[in-house]
Chain A
Amino acid sequence: MSSENKIILEASGLKAEINGAPILKGLDLCVRAGEIHAIMGKNGSGKSTFSKVVAGHPSYAVTGGKLEFFGEDLNELAPEERSKKGIFLGFQYPIEIPGVTNGAFLRLAFNSIQAARGGDELDPLEFDDFIREKLKLLKMDAGFLDRSLNEGFSGGEKKRNEILQMAILEPKLSILDETDSGLDIDALRIVANGVNSIHGDDDAIVLVTHYQRLLNYIEPDFIHVMEGGKIIKTGTKELALELESKGYDWVVDEYKAKAA
């Protein structure tokens, strides 16, 4: 990727805490248009926290550093405003909402984002035509639209539904938080194909994952290793294979040695 490309997300020295407990302790990351980044690391290293901080989860407070989206400070923006500007978070555990149909939810989300972009909102019939095309992308049948939002969905269905939302909202930055967890190999392939076909030169993707498996299907430009609320190593996709075979400890040791 060229360093000429536009910077979409920039975090520098980012610190954040929840209920007074610091989680992010000086994180640096620069994501440019067209790039795919993977953030890997052990449980509790702060990967999911970073996703939520970027999306604006109200439980997390940013206590230091810089977090910018297309050069704009994100700190003052409510989560729905961030979403309207083009930030998308694919949830690790999508929320179940009984009684609200998936179709109605998707249309409301689509129209909210369209209104913010000055685009045309779609009525239920127009939306139906639009969504059917997107459903094919993820090999989902139309029955999905009539079911309650995520209620009774299998793990794989929930994740596919997240990527379906990504497909219709066309975000500039998609952070996919452990989208691969709970997926069998077929579902993983479908989800990965979906992500690849949505991704283009103008947007960027950040994958948060434990495993290298997903990266066989979605090829990242950069791999970051996160530990103790910071990114301690950045490499190319070969790093993921190395991590898969050797684990994380050597990276941590290397980092500590450098710091000492």
Chain B
Amino acid sequence: MSTALDSIVNQPYRAGFKTDIESDTVDKGLSEDVVRIISKKKNEPEWMLDFRLKAYRHWLTMKEPEWPNVKYPKIDYQDIIYYAAPKPKATKKSMDEVDPELLKTFDKLGVPLHERAALAGVAVDVVFDSVSVTTTYKEKLAEQGIIFCSFSEAVKDHPDLVKKYLGSVVPHTDNFYAALNSAVFTDGSFCFIPKGVKCPMDLSTYFRINTQDSGQFERTLIVAEEDSQVSYLEGCTAPQFDTNQLHAAVVELVALDRADIKYSTVQNWYAGDENGVGGIFNFVTKRGLCKGEKSKISWTQVETGSAVTWKYPSCILLGDNSIGEFYSVALTNHLQQADTGTKMVHIGKNTRSRIISKGISAGRSNNSYRGLVKVSPKAENARNYSQCDSMLIGQVCGAHTFPYLEVDNKSAIVEHEASTSKIGEEQLFYFASRGIDPEEAVSMIINGFVRDVFMHLPMEFAVEATKLLGLKLEGSVG
């Protein structure tokens, strides 16, 4: 039976291929000059360069965090390429102008861009390595005053908005990786929903790391003005490489009065092989600011990739009656390590937060939930509910839960529930004795386990995520 389990969870990575596109890269290494070159290559204004340089200088004074429950070889930050972009062939107006190689890549991943966008009504801002290649539906969104574009375009076309909100949720001093990102980020997405507008479609970005040895530094900024609403989807997958790749993204969300932002991620980056060789290091800072009253930010993530994941999508509940939510499924296999969770910081009155975390550990992997619930002195009647469930597949994987509670207001109600279950011989035997083979049993148990989280994903994404978990855990039994 344990061999059946093994073959189920030890599926090779299926999105492992590399697209041959000429890259325009800057030499390895990081210095003030490299920061200036990046800024210059992107034709950035002076204020943007200043932001980068301030961040770079601060980064030099910082130390890499060592508190996460993960182990990895020391990263040589001088051995990383900080800028790689597909060579521009002039600006593209339609899909026909997009590099056919690139389109093929998306096809292999099962992301038929135009079809998908048209059929599903999803606007896709495609980030290939670090530069946006095409943005669809932009004009349709523009009719409602919605801005959805690459970060570079936003810097060029909407400098006031970017200047106002960039770094307002995750300042460049926040942490080691956020500082690094602020110095060298090459591109990302920018999204602005004006007052009273409900975004008519889910906004979607597909990220893909392509150039070997190139660090990936995305920057995403989403601003939802008063009474607006937006659902944003982020999906990732990467080709198979032997050397580790660093990814240090920053995502900032700002919700003003009564605004509602839903941010969903399905992440499937190369996790290294079954011996832990290669794979992406994913050190991401994601934070949402519920700035206005009755605003709401909801994070939903499905983490299946990366060799090492360090990620805590968080909510600062500043506005009175604001709501923060975090729904997470993190799957680790082989030698993958994940230290992920959230922070809910209650500052305003009557703020509410809800955390549902589901960790699945297989192989020899290690999966940690780390979550902070902080209720500050003025946060009257704050409420939090946290539920952390772990699922173990096999004998040699690990699941850990690190809940932190800091409650400085007596009116707060904070609840925490945790459970651990496993898929082992006894569970599979029970299913088998009812005629259900191990593969179907595992899939049914896993789908049941993640149901509370998947119901919060947009329908189409949920289907994709279910397939992804299946892909990660299916296999021939024999």
Binding site for B on A (CB under 8 A): 55-59, 78-80, 82-84, 87-89, 91, 94-95, 97-101, 104-105, 108-109, 112-113, 116, 148-149, 165, 169
Contacts and interface: CB of A to CB of B under 8 A. Distances in A.
Contact of A58 (B1, B427, B435): B1
A80 B436 contact: yes
B213 interface: no
Given A83-B433, A84-B435, A99-B451, A105 B1 contact: no
Contacts of A57: 429
B430 A95 contact: yes
Nearest to A117: B435
A19 to B, nearest CB: 13
A108 B419 contact: no
Contacts of A82: 433
Given A83-B434, A83-B435, A113-B434, 9 more contacts: A80-B436, A97-B430, A98-B419, A99-B445, A100-B448, A108-B444, A109-B431, A165-B434, A169-B435
A101 B451 CA distance: 11
B405 interface: no
Contacts of A55: 429, 433
A114 B300 CA distance: 38
B426 A169 contact: no
A138 B99 CA distance: 64
Taking each of B425, B426, B427, B431, which has the highest tally of chain A beta carbons within 10 Å of its own beta carbon? B431
A180 B267 CA distance: 48
A196 B448 CA distance: 33
Contacts, number: 82
B444 A100 contact: yes
Most buried by A among B425, B433, B440: B433
B425 A58 contact: yes
Q: Which of B427, B429, B437, B447 has the most CB of A within 10 A?
A: B429
B144 interface: no
Contacts of B430: 91, 94-95, 97
Interface of B: 1, 389, 419, 421, 425-427, 429-438, 440, 444-445, 447-452
Contacts of B433: 55-56, 79-80, 82-83, 87-89, 91
Contact of A148 (B427, B429, B448): B448
Contacts of A94: 430
22 contacts: A55-B429, A58-B425, A80-B431, A80-B438, A82-B433, A83-B434, A83-B435, A89-B433, A95-B430, A97-B421, A97-B427, A97-B448, A99-B449, A100-B447, A105-B444, A109-B434, A112-B434, A112-B436, A112-B440, A113-B434, A116-B435, A148-B448
A79 B438 CA distance: 10
A117 to B, nearest CB: 10
Given A99-B449, A99-B452, A100-B444, A113 B425 contact: no
Nearest to B451: A99
A79 B430 CA distance: 9
B432 A79 contact: yes
A113 B435 contact: yes
A82 B433 CA distance: 8
Contacts of B449: 98-99
B429 A58 contact: yes
Contact of B436 (A89, A109, A148): A109
Given A58-B1, A98-B421, A98-B449, A78 B436 contact: no
Contacts of B444: 100, 104-105, 108
Contacts of A101: 448
Contacts of B421: 97-98
A190 B316 CA distance: 55
- Top 3 closest pairs, chain A to chain B, by CB: A99-B448, A100-B448, A79-B432
Contacts of B436: 80, 108-109, 112
A109 to B, nearest CB: 4
Contacts of B426: 95
Contacts of A95: 426-427, 430
Given A59-B425, A95-B426, A83 B432 contact: yes
B256 to A, nearest CB: 37
Nearest to A82: B433
A101 B444 CA distance: 10
Contacts of B452: 99
A59 B434 CA distance: 18
B434 A169 contact: yes
B152 to A, nearest CB: 43
A200 B355 CA distance: 52
Nearest to B449: A99
Contacts of A58: 1, 425, 429
B252 to A, nearest CB: 33
